[in-house]
Chain A
Amino acid sequence: DGGITQSPKYLFRKEGQNVTLSCEQNLNHDAMYWYRQDPGQGLRLIYYSQIVNDFQKGDIAEGYSVSREKKESFPLTVTSAQKNPTAFYLCASSIDVWLAGGPRLQYFGAGTRLSVL
């Protein structure tokens, strides 16, 4: 079945540690996204990538880094510079953004809950 796989489901970070959240998709989508969700809040865009080897900052990129070496994969690293990393992280993908028209619907993974020890 096609979809988006995020791992791990739960992750704990120690003070000063970098952690990496995995996101893999087999939908053959070109665009991928990372969102952060705090309790009782909507999603906020961290980073997005429209094509392999290219990515752009979203609204809250500070303290995070990404890479896009393969079309299927878009890992997110939460660095030690992110002082408040506890949140629910959601990865999404959508069809080629350069196609005209259509909703370019974003499909989401099941999320990773990150907590600080």
Chain B
Amino acid sequence: AQKITQTQPGMFVQEKEAVTLDCTYDTSDQSYGLFWYKQPSSGEMIFLIYQGSYDEQNATEGRYSLNFQKARKSANLVISASQLGDSAMYFCAMREGTPGGGADGLTFGKGTHLIIQP
């Protein structure tokens, strides 16, 4: 079973609209972290936002917010007031395990290709 599921392969959104990118995850760990990265056509991975499993508040970073619903195991990314420069691939990722122990690599979803139209 996939650990990170992103169900939207591609999305077209009008500039200045808000957009929600879906992410569901699967883990039996109590301690885990969820990340969103942006990958423009150049290929670099740009960190956007992080949510820890014990964080009670939804994370926010500028125009980005993470809608964290722990019981549903979902961590959707919300981009407010989208801009043309937001066009890119967006990846949801998870790190499992307790701090200081265990594997530390990230597990990524397959991504959502977001295109902002003028």
Question: Which A positions have Cβ atoms within 8 angstroms of B?
Answer: 31, 33, 35, 40-45, 48, 50, 56, 58-59, 88, 90, 92, 94, 97-111, 113
Q: Is B50 an interface residue (CB 8 A)?
A: yes
Q: Is B44 an interface residue (CB 8 A)?
A: yes
Closest to B39 in A: A37
Question: Which B positions have Cβ atoms within 8 angstroms of A?
Answer: 4, 33, 35, 37, 42-45, 47, 50, 52, 91, 93, 95, 99-100, 103-111
B45 / chain A contacts, CB cutoff of 8 Å: 43, 90, 92, 108
Closest to B104 in A: A97
Interchain CB contact under 8 A, B44 and A108: yes
Closest to B4 in A: A42
Cα–Cα distance between A42 and B111 once the two chains are bound (Å):
6
Interchain CB contact under 8 A, B105 and A45: yes
Interchain CB contact under 8 A, B108 and A33: no
- From residue B66, how far is it (CB to closest CB) to chain A in Å? 12
Cα–Cα distance between A92 and B52 once the two chains are bound (Å):
20
Interchain CB contact under 8 A, B100 and A43: no
- From residue A70, how far is it (CB to closest CB) to chain B in Å? 20
Interchain CB contact under 8 A, A42 and B110: yes
A106 / chain B contacts, CB cutoff of 8 Å: 35, 47, 106
